[in-house]
Amino acid sequence: MAHVLPDLPYDFAALEPYIDEQTMRLHHGKHHAAYVNNLNGALAAYPELAAKTIEHLLTKIDAVPADIRQTVINNGGGHANHDLFWTIMAPPGKGGGGEPAGKLAEAIQSTFGGFAKLKETLNKAATSRFGSGWAWLVVDDKRKLQVYSTANQDSPLMQGHTPILGLDVWEHAYYLKYQNRRPDYIDAWWNVVKWPAVAERFAKAS
């Protein structure tokens, strides 16, 4: 059973003006699609692994044969990370924007000292990531929230953490509209974060 590129849950232009249509088309239809194709290519020689979910493969990455392990880290990570990314965003006013509520808001308060502090911490992780990578809000193995960044397509799943919010800071995610102004892209992105989806992931992970 091959991995498939999921459809976007909204139109390519739906996140305008914060994330532009052309970026969304290329990001989803070229970048994410390539991760899926490369992952399937690597797994073709290992039918028993091809039947596993991507979450399973990344969580147990040491069990993946050495000859395809880095390919699975890069392309399987790329697939899982983008799968999350599309679903934790929504058009402003249609689920996107605003602030977290409920138990997630309580956990953010007790861990970071409030939403403003969480934003500050995640913004710092995202702006200071050198080169390509992601900034994350995760539920760690002790069921606590943590913010950090990873390089390339490295998934928090590989260290036993469950990502509940992820921000792609590869240049392909923002360069067409924001060029070198990564901080402007990060500021804009908060307007399309779909907190109910993050809260759902938080509830499942904790």
Residues that bind Mn ion (CB under 5 A): 168, 170, 173
Nearer to Mn ion, 61 or 169 (CB): 169
C-alpha to C-alpha distance for 126 and 130, rounded to whole angstroms:
9
CB closer to Mn ion, 83 vs 168: 168
Decide whether 104 or 173 has the Cβ nearer to Mn ion: 173
Residue with tokens 């899982």: 80
Beta carbon of residue 123, minimum distance to Mn ion (angstroms, whole number): 18
Structure tokens at 79: 């697939």
- Shortest gap between Cβ of 77 and Mn ion (angstroms)? 11
Cα 81 from Cα 65, distance rounded (Å)? 21
CA distance 144 to 160: 12
Cβ–Cβ under 8 Å, residues 135 and 169:
yes
CB of 191 to Mn ion, least distance (A): 19
Alpha-carbon distances, residue 176 vs 28, 55, 107, 128, 179 (angstroms): 14, 31, 36, 20, 6
Which CB, 76 or 100, lies closer to Mn ion?
76
Contact (CB, 8 A) for 82 and 172: no
| Min separation Cβ 24 and Mn ion, Å | 11
Question: Based on CB atoms, which residue is closest to Mn ion, 145 or 192?
Answer: 192
The rounded distance, in Å, linking the Cα atoms of 6 and 39 is 14
Least spacing, CB of residue 28 vs Mn ion, in Å:
9
